[in-house]
Structures are given as C-alpha cells and as structure tokens.
Amino acid sequence: MLKLISSSGIQSRFHRLTSTSVPALRPTIESTSPLLKVLSSLRRLSLSNPNFGGRVFFCSDSSDGSDQVVDAHVKAAESSADEADSSAASAIVPTSPRPEDYLTVLALPLPHRPLFPGFYMPIYVKDPKVLAALQESRKRQAPYAGAFLLKDEPEADPCVSSGSETEKNVYDLKGKELFNRLHEVGTLAQISSIAGDQVILIGHRRLRITEMVSEDPLTVKVDHLKDKPYDKDDDIIKATSFEVISTLRDVLKTSSLWRDHFQTYTKHIGDFTLPRLADFGAAISGANKLQCQQVLEELDVYKRLKLTLELVKKEMEITKIQETIAKAIEEKISGEQRRYLLNEQLKAIKKELGLETDDKTALTGKFRERIEPKREKCPPHVLQVIDEELTKLQLLEASSSEFSVTRNYLDWLTALPWGEYSDENFDVIGAQKILDEDHYGLSDVKERILEFIAVGKLRGTSQGKIICLSGPPGVGKTSIGRSIARALNRKFFRFSVGGLADVAEIKGHRRTYIGAMPGKMVQCLKNVGTANPLVLIDEIDKLGRGHAGDPASALLELLDPEQNANFLDHYLDVPIDLSKVLFVCTANVVEMIPNPLLDRMEVVAIAGYITDEKMHIARDYLEKTTREACGIKPEQVEVTDAALLALIENYCREAGVRNLQKHIEKIYRKIALQLVRQGVIIEPAVASVQDTEQMSETSIDVDKEQEELQAGHSECPANQSIDVEDKNSSEEDKERGSTMTISKVLVDKSNLADYVGKPVFHAERIYDQTPIGVVMGLAWTAMGGSTLYIETTLVEEGEGKGALHLTGQLGDVMKESAQIAHTVARAILVKKQLENSFFTNAKLHLHVPAGATPKDGPSAGCTMITSLLSLAMKKPVRKDLAMTGEVTLTGKILPIGGVKEKTIAARRSEVKTIVFPSANRRDFDELAPNVKEGLDVHFVDDYMQIFDLAFGEEQS
C-alpha cells in the first residue's frame, strides 16, 4: 500500500511552490473533483511540460506490512541550470552537493521490492556500523545511499520463503557475500530520516554498480543511469501509453486504493511523463519483485511501458477477480444479515404478541415427521383428515383461537398408534406359569384366559373380548387384569369409572369447547403406544348418572364387539378400530350393572377364597412381600401356621385377602420395632462376652454362652416369644466357629393378640344346640358369604290373635318372604298336625339378628318356614344343618345365587349338612374339591323334602 508522505512543512512548501510556479493551474485543480482531476490529468498526458514543479514522495509496502508516513525535512531550494536538466521532473529539493556528484555510496539491501524514483521505502538496518555510517553521511550534508534489490538464494524457492527468514538472512550477509547477492541496477536514495534502526529512503534516480570499494560497511562505486532517447511523437509509444492510461482508468474505477494514489499524485506533481507513467504503474502494481526489478533495469522507455502495461493488465484482472469475490461475499453476508435482522424482528414481534413459540412451519414439519412412519398403516380416511388439517393450519393466523384448536387436534391425531400392534404371546404354558406365579387358585379366570390365548394361536390373530371379573373386594380383580396383560405380552392401562357421571370422559368433548380433550380410550391409546392393549375398566358397577348424560349408555359402543371396530370419539371425529383391544371390567355386584351393558360382557365370577386358599396366599405371597418391604430377613421371624389360621378365622373372615394383607403388615411392623429395640438391648451383652474373651484369651464353652444368652433373653418383655440361638448351634456355624447370635421372633396363636389386638370375629355359631324356633340360614353379601340365624318366638297366645311381627332391618323382599313363609307354614302344619291351631291363636315375632345390618334377598324363604314350624311343633332342628332357598306359596324351592360363597360360609361355621335348591346342583358341582370336601349337601325342589330332613330325625 502506498501513502502520501505528509507533513505540515512539506504541504506548506508545496502550496507555495505550486502557487508561484503555476498560478493558472490552481483554480482548476481546486475546483474539480478528485476523480475528474485524475482523468483530466491522464487525458492531458504530454511531454511538452517537463518543468512542472513539485513532486510528492511515495513508498511501497515495508517488510512488516505496516504503512509508514514519513515527515520529510526538505531543506531550502537552490535553483541551478543543471537542476533543470537533470531533475526537472523531480519534486525532491536537492542538497548540496548535487545527487549526480555521488559516485561512491553505501549499498543497502532491499529484501522485498525495488525502490522506484519518486517513491519512499522504510527499511531496517541491524548492522551498527552501517547505521553509524548513514548517520554520519546525513550529518555531513550528504544524505544519500544506494538501494539495491537482494537476489534470492539459488536453492531457495521465492514463492515459499517467509519474510522473517529473508530478513534474518539479510542481516547476516556482509562484505563480499552481500555484494554478490545484490542486483546491479538500483536506486539512488535520499536518507530522509533515521529513527532507531528504521531508515526512510526516498528514490531519486537509477544507479548501476561498477565495483566494490569497501566491505564493512559495504561501499560501492556506481554509474548514474539515464533513460534512452525516444520519440515522443512515435505512434507505437503513444498507443502503448494510451493503453496504459486506459487500463489505469479502468483500475481507477474499481480500486479505491489506486484512486487515492492517483488523487494525491496528480495533486502535487501534475502531468505525467512517459518514463514517470511507467515507473508509477510498476511501483503501485502488485507484481513480484523480479518483475518490478525488470522494469527498474529497463532504460528503453517503450519497453518499460510495455512491461508496465503487462503488469497493469494483470492488476486489472486481479482487480476483477477481487471484485467478483468481494461481490459474492458481500451478497452472502448481506443476505445472511438481512435474514438475521428479519428473524430478530420477527422474534421481537412474536414476543410482543406472545406468539414466540408458534412457528407454523416447524409445527407442520413436526406433525408430518410424526405421521410419516405410520403412513402405510394409517387408515386412508385418517390420512385425509390429517392432510386437510395441516393445510388449514398453514392458512390460519397464529393469534386466532382456531389455530390452537387445530394444533391440538393434529397433536392428538398424529400421536395415536395407527395400525401399530405389540407382538402377542400365544404360549399357553408360559402364560399358565405367569398366572400361577401371580395368583393362587382362581382356576376359572386362568382357564378363561388360556382359552383366549389358545384361540388366538389357532387363528394366528387375536380378537378383543370383554371380560367382566365380578367378586367381593380384595379378591384380586385388578391385579388379575395386570397379570393377564403380562401373560399376553400386552400393554396395560387402567382407568376407573366409579362415580363417573360425565359422558365426555368416555366419548370426549367437542373440539369447539374450551379445554376440550378426547375420551379415556383415546388417551389410553396415546399413552400405551399400541392399538391392542389390555384396558382394565375398574368399578364398572359404580357408574354414576348426572346431568351430563348416562355414562353406562356411552360405554355400550365402547364395549360392544360389533361396534367398537368403528368407535367414534367426539373430539377426534374419526373412527378408531378397537376390535383388537382386550377389555377387562371389574365389578363387586353384577346386578348393579345395567342389563344392556352386562349383555355385552362375559362374566367370570370370583367368589372369594376359603381358609385353605387364604393360608397359601398368606404364606406364599403376602408374607414374603411384606417381609421384604419391612427389611426383615426370613431367619429373624417365624409365623406359625396356627397363627395364620387364627388370623384368618378371627380377624380376616371376609372373602378377599386385602384385610389379611393389612394384618400381616401390622404384625411385621411390630416385629421390626421389636427387633430394633432388642438389638439395642443385646449388643452390650455380646460386647461383654467379647471383652471377656479378649481378657482371658481362652475360648468360651458353648454351654456358658447359652447361659449368658438365656440371661439376656430374660430381659425381653414377657408377652414376646423370642428364640435366641447361637450360630454355633448349627452345623455350618460350628464349622465356621462363629460366636455371633441371631434373635428369632416367633409369632404363634398364643401371642397373636399382642400384634393385632383382640379378635374381631367370633364363631358365627351362636348356639351349640339349636333352640326351638331357631334355624341357620346362608346369605350372600358383597364381602362374601355368611351364615345368619332366623329366630321365631311366641309373643302371646289367645283366641284369634294369630299374627306375625318382623324385625331385623329387613328389606321388602325378605318381608314378603316372611309373609309367604307364614302362609306356607300354616298350610304344612295343617297337613301334618291337623289338630294343632298354633298359628291361628299365636302372635309371633320373627327376628334376624345383627339388626343394624340391612338385609334383603330372595333366599330366606325355606329358612323362615323351618323356623316357624320348629316353634309350632316345639321341635328343634339339627344343629349341623344350614339351608338356603326361596319358596313359593305351593312349597316349590326356587334357585338362589352365591353357591360358592354360601358353601364357604357353611364350612367356616362347621356346618356339615347343607340344603340347596335342585336347580343349583350344577353350580355346586363346579366348585373345587377342597371346597366340597366333608359336606353333606342335599338338593331339594319341594319344601317337604326339607321338612323330612330337618324334623325327620330325633335330635339329641
């Protein structure tokens, strides 16, 4: 880069010089623009004005790339005749003596570029002797030296050598070695200033080295070179110069750097001469140093112009390439900046409007990316709806309410598992193993599930079914559903409909409502991610009914195998195929389920567990789980079978095992506290034994240890049975020689009350010997089966006072059964004992104990008749007899429900003889053998059969 050497002194001198020598030119230069001045200067190129005064000093790039501005202290001008001939075109004010008088000069090497006349260059002089010689010359009024370009090393590549290495080599060169490396043609340079080791040189004229004078510092003899004569009117020279000017003009239009050089050059120098034009073009071009040196050595003006023209043309091509690159980069940068600014403005606007997260393009891309993997499996009508909604989303404003509705709708539509099914397990043996691991008993349920798997294996695909598990609380209906899902390798989803009163929870809301959401079934499919999960609908018998419709009716479409292949949710409004979904419903009371809904289900009854089944469940499942949850090891606790049996009979008599689990957890919590307290008490005793061992350094006898441990055992509470054993008592510990102790808590029937309190239930058999007028009946409740007594007594007896009074919080059905029983009993009594007028003259009171419990149901008729006849005939019934069944006015026995529950209740009360209606024989035959074992069951269809059974044998 070239810069004008400016200083206030030089500028003032230049102004004075130009104002005095060329007064007519000043208004023209000052009144025109810099560009017009340059063009006009180039256009007026002529050799007729060689005496135009004033030159400005330029320099090429220094070795370190820095631009230096030099303050040139020019001495007073001395005019002479020779000056006009030799340096008429020079603006350098000569010193005395004249430059052409210097025939011996110091040789200064230039590592990068040659110095052209009229330009300046800063160089660094590291040699102290050379620097001292330059300073001495400047003091002696002879501030001149020779600047010569340094040749490249023969083995070095000039294209790859770095500037720092070149400078280092220059500093090392001295004497004859340096002389041999210098080009012969150089420039006479005026020493403008010296600042430290930096010397500013100003080029004057060309020199040629003739011989070396001295080596340190290097001094050489030189000849001053002049340009060869040329014809200024030669057409070839003119054409070449005009082409140089034209090329410079083109470069001037594109390069601002060159434009600055032209402006400053023409302002202070004026018109160009042909030699000056050639030097100027070569000096400011970007050519390499050898090409510039070739121009410097050329004394033929025409050839110099040709060389300069080549350099300028090349510079023009480089400028065009530079302009293309700059334009491309500028377009790229401006485009990115524009996009960045627009995006920032868009973000700011969205932030002000609260829409910074609503990018429609991003949303559309997300929805398309989500549905793309499912596109082949997705039904065509669903794909059509999704595409329509995506198009609609692009047209909507992000601020509109319809936009959020459409976005949420697409979110649900694309999130559903269209056509995606999990791989099912059709291995019957594996499923049987899983079901047996999770549940004991429940053969009916397990058999039904295995049938479902077997059908699926034969068909190769499974169809959804609706299975309803009915039974009392705590029998494991919900956990059975989870086990079925594990056995089938299906995803599991549970939702409870107990107390559900809004149809929208099942069928979904309309999309136009605020906060609208799909129904539970659509939410299930989204959560599980498959279209064939196992859905457990819990508490289906407790559906509510409110102002928002009837949920039980809304479930019809969901649970109908003929309709759920095209289930229509109000929110999605597109049919969904639920035919592969396995629905498992749970209910406590089947009668509470609406008949249209019940008709679509396959009911599997879970009656509850007998004592034997509860023992297995408690021992194999509940105790193990509870022990692990409490952090107790198996060797620390032993709960006997007698304790578990007492717990089941006296505390947990209901059909389920949830209450049994609570009591077992209660026992283990107390044991955990007991073990912790016991550890605090026993640890010092163990420590004292160890101290005694260390002091005596002898082994302690096993019997002595047992005595000490028994002493520690005596400190435990009296109501706790604790077995403290030494590990040495076992064979393994004898081998190890261990002396540690283990405390084992024993829970037996004797101390069970210390853990769970007093028994809640007592024996249901109130009477060892059944009194007259008392008969045991069998009842079914939501908690399972139970036995209850029906008692009848005489209030008063008199002529025509026959009446019946009922108590025991009986329902309408049982009140009607009592009236029917009263009528039938009178008819039977007349038939058996014609002379007995008991019912005619007796006022009777019939009572069912546990009066605080509501009782109702059509199965107490035969029991009431037997109670009334026992009182009328003054005969007690058999003590081991229990009966159930409804009676018509003609004495026929009607079937009842809950055969298994009533059988279990009879066994619990140690009843051996049971009377069932004949129509219930099939139900009894389906019971497990362990339930029927040891029972004498009679199936009757007429009450006279019961009469013979109850009163036919003499009771002791």
Q: What is the pLDDT of residue 43?
A: 46
Q: How confident is the model at residue 443 (pLDDT cuts 50, 70, 90)?
A: confident
117 is in an annotated binding site: no
Q: What is the pLDDT of residue 793?
A: 93
Burial of 120 (0-12, 13-18, 19+ CB in 10 A): buried
Q: What is the pLDDT of residue 281?
A: 74
**What average pLDDT does this structure show over 927-931?**
82
Q: How confident is the model at residue 271 (pLDDT cuts 50, 70, 90)?
A: low
Cβ-proximal residues to 891 (8 Å cutoff; 6+ apart), any chain? 824, 827, 828, 942, 943, 944
Q: What is the pLDDT of residue 561?
A: 81
804 phi and psi angles, rounded to 5 deg: -135, 125
**Residue type at position 949:** L
Query: Which tokens hold the place of 580?
Result: 């592969």
Q: What is the pLDDT of residue 708?
A: 41
Q: What is the pLDDT of residue 764?
A: 60
Cβ-proximal residues to 55 (8 Å cutoff; 6+ apart), any chain? 89, 90, 91, 92, 118, 268, 269
Q: How confident is the model at residue 782 (pLDDT cuts 50, 70, 90)?
A: low
Least confident stretch, 346-350, 706-710, 769-773: 706-710
The superfamily CATH assigns to domain 104-152+172-224 is: LON domain-like (2.30.130.40)
Q: Is the pLDDT of residue 718 over 60?
A: no
Whole-angstrom distance between the N-terminal and C-terminal Cα of the chain?
137
Whether 377 is catalytic is no
Question: Mean pLDDT across the chain, nearest whole number?
Answer: 76
Given the candidates 3.40.800.20, 1.10.760.10, 2.40.30.10, 3.40.50.300, the CATH classification of the domain at 428-585 is 3.40.50.300
Q: How confident is the model at residue 167 (pLDDT cuts 50, 70, 90)?
A: low
Burial of 471 (0-12, 13-18, 19+ CB in 10 A): buried
Helices (H), 697-804: 702-713, 731-736, 753-756
Tell me how far apart the alpha carbons of residues 593 and 537 are, in angstroms, rounded to a whole number.
13
Contact 836, 797 (CB under 8 A): no
Find, among 729, 724, 594, 618, the residue nearest to 667 by Cα: 618
**What average pLDDT does this structure show over 686-690?**
38
Helix (H, G, I), strand (E, B) or coil at 947: helix
Q: What is the pLDDT of residue 515?
A: 84
Q: Is the pLDDT of residue 792 over 90?
A: yes
pLDDT in tens, 483-534: 888 888 889 999 888 888 888 888 888 888 888 889 888 999 999 989 889 9
User: Domain-by-domain residue ranges, the chain?
Assistant: 104-152+172-224, 359-415, 428-585, 611-677, 774-951
pLDDT in tens, 154-166: 655 555 544 555 5
473 is in an annotated binding site: yes
Tell me how far apart the alpha carbons of residues 572 and 778 are, in angstroms, rounded to a whole number.
52
- Placement of tokens 């709960």 in the chain: 639
Q: How confident is the model at residue 918 (pLDDT cuts 50, 70, 90)?
A: very high
Given the candidates 3.30.230.10, 3.90.79.10, 3.30.750.24, 3.30.70.100, the CATH classification of the domain at 774-951 is 3.30.230.10
477 is in an annotated binding site: yes
Q: How many degrees, rounded to 5, is the angle at CA 562 between CA 488 and CA 538?
A: 50
* Alpha-carbon dihedral sign for residues 49, 50, 52, 57: positive
- The reply to whether 428-585 shares the fold of 104-152+172-224 is no
Q: How many degrees, rounded to 5, is the angle at CA 648 between CA 644 and CA 651?
A: 115
pLDDT in tens, 641-653: 999 988 988 888 7
- Placement of tokens 């599930």 in the chain: 449
Tell me how far apart the alpha carbons of residues 52 and 38 are, in angstroms, rounded to a whole number.
16
Q: Is the pLDDT of residue 896 over 80?
A: yes
Whether 859 is catalytic is yes
Of 713 and 178, more confident: 178
Q: Is the pLDDT of residue 844 over 60?
A: yes
Q: What is the pLDDT of residue 703?
A: 40
Contact 725, 651 (CB under 8 A): no
Contact 541, 497 (CB under 8 A): no
Q: Is the pLDDT of residue 605 over 90?
A: no
The class that CATH gives domain 611-677 is: mainly alpha
549 is in an annotated binding site: no
802 is in an annotated binding site: no
Catalytic residue among 41, 859, 867, 870: 859
Q: What is the pLDDT of residue 356?
A: 54
Q: Is the pLDDT of residue 704 over 60?
A: no
3-state secondary structure 318-345: HHHHHHHHHHHHHHHHHHHHHHHHHHHH
474 is in an annotated binding site: yes
Q: What is the pLDDT of residue 258?
A: 66
- Placement of tokens 């009194």 in the chain: 771
Tell me how far apart the alpha carbons of residues 102 and 816 are, in angstroms, rounded to a whole number.
151
Contact 876, 899 (CB under 8 A): no
Query: Which tokens hold the place of 271?
Result: 């018109």
**What average pLDDT does this structure show over 218-225?**
84
Q: Categorise residue 203: left if φ over 0, alpha if ψ from -120 to 50, beta otherwise.
A: beta
Query: Which tokens hold the place of 681?
Result: 């008490």
Q: What is the pLDDT of residue 866?
A: 93
Find, among 364, 401, 419, the residue nearest to 386 by Cα: 364
Count of helix runs (H) and strand runs (E) in the chain: 36, 26
Cβ-proximal residues to 245 (8 Å cutoff; 6+ apart), any chain? 42, 43, 45, 277
**What average pLDDT does this structure show over 815-834?**
90
Q: Is the pLDDT of residue 63 over 90?
A: no
Contact 225, 207 (CB under 8 A): yes
186 phi and psi angles, rounded to 5 deg: -140, -155
Q: Is the pLDDT of residue 897 over 80?
A: yes
Q: What is the pLDDT of residue 266?
A: 56
Tell me how far apart the alpha carbons of residues 518 and 25 are, in angstroms, rounded to a whole number.
92
Of 55 and 357, more confident: 357
pLDDT in tens, 67-101: 333 333 333 333 333 333 333 334 444 455 676 66
Give strand pairing partners of 468.
Answer: 585, 603
Q: How many degrees, rounded to 5, is the angle at CA 716 between CA 715 and CA 722?
A: 130
Query: Which tokens hold the place of 560?
Result: 């109908």
Q: What is the pLDDT of residue 260?
A: 65
Q: What is the pLDDT of residue 259?
A: 65
**What average pLDDT does this structure show over 468-491?**
88
**Residue type at position 456:** G
Q: Is the pLDDT of residue 407 over 50?
A: yes
pTM score > 0.95 for this model? no
DSSP string over 816-879: HHHHHHHHHHHHHHHHH-TT--HHHHEEEEEE-S-TTS-B--TT-HHHHHHHHHHHHHT-PPPT
**What average pLDDT does this structure show over 207-218?**
83
Of 705 and 258, more confident: 258
- Placement of tokens 């001053």 in the chain: 224
Q: Is the pLDDT of residue 567 over 50?
A: yes
Helix (H, G, I), strand (E, B) or coil at 620: helix
